[in-house]
Amino acid sequence: MNLKNIQKLIKLVEESDIGEIEISYFMGRRIRISKHPKAAPQPQERREEKVEEKPAPPPEIDENIEEKEGLVSISAPIVGTFYRAPAPDAEPYVKVGDHIEEDTVVCIIEAMKLFNEIKAEIRGTIKQILVENGQPVEYGQTLFLVEPD
């Protein structure tokens, strides 16, 4: 799916009176664009929301952030489900503002019931956490932004 085309579409929606648009076939995908700013997550629309978010992964966006703010990313070494804590009721491994060492475990990624503890491999301070607990992550997807020491 072409990022520019989606951006065009978003702009069209923004400039119009349309609150929400759903196209069942757009560049081979289904897409829904909704104007409600940060509306509460609506479960039945999650698929389309995901499509909206899809443009995020391209690496150039991440690089921009890094260049601008001097931040370094910790990215997913494998594909799977991202978990911030060792158990649902446990404290997250790291929070924004936490100082981390190279061997600090920052999260778990699960693939086929194999739980991989992911280490920071960098010293610094967590500035941003880009993935929600329980969300699937792709190979190389940025999980955390870190301000190196």
Partner 1 sequence: MSSNTYDTRRILKSQKARLIGRNIIIHEVVESTSSFLKDALTRGEVSSGAVAVANIQTKGYGRFKREWVSPRGGIYFSFLIKRFKRDITPLTLVVAYSVANTIHYLTGIKPSLKWPNDILINGKKIGGVLAELVGDNLICGIGVNINTEQTALPEELREKATSVFIETGKKLDLTDALLNLIQGIDKNLTIYKNKGFLYFRDRWLSLCPRWHDVIYSKIGKEKTVSLFHDISETGTLIIVDEDGKKQLFSGEISYE
Q: Which residues bind partner 1 (CB under 8 A)?
A: 29-30, 43, 46-47, 50, 78-81, 83, 86-88, 90, 110-117, 132, 134-136
Please state, in angstroms and rounded to a whole number, the distance separating the CA atoms of residues 8 and 1: 13
Closer Cβ to partner 1, 71 or 120, answer by number: 120
CB of 95 to partner 1, least distance (A): 20
Closer Cβ to partner 1, 8 or 47, answer by number: 47
| 106 contact partners, CB below 8 Å, separation of at least 6 | 74, 93, 94, 100, 118, 119, 120, 126, 143, 144
Asked if residue 97 lies in contact with residue 124, where contact means CB atoms within 8 angstroms, the answer is no
Closer Cβ to partner 1, 8 or 46, answer by number: 46
CB of 47 to partner 1, least distance (A): 7
Characterize 64-82 residue by residue with b for buried, 16 or more Cβ atoms within 10 angstroms of its Cβ, and e for exposed: ebbeeeebbbbbbeeebeb
Closer Cβ to partner 1, 71 or 122, answer by number: 122
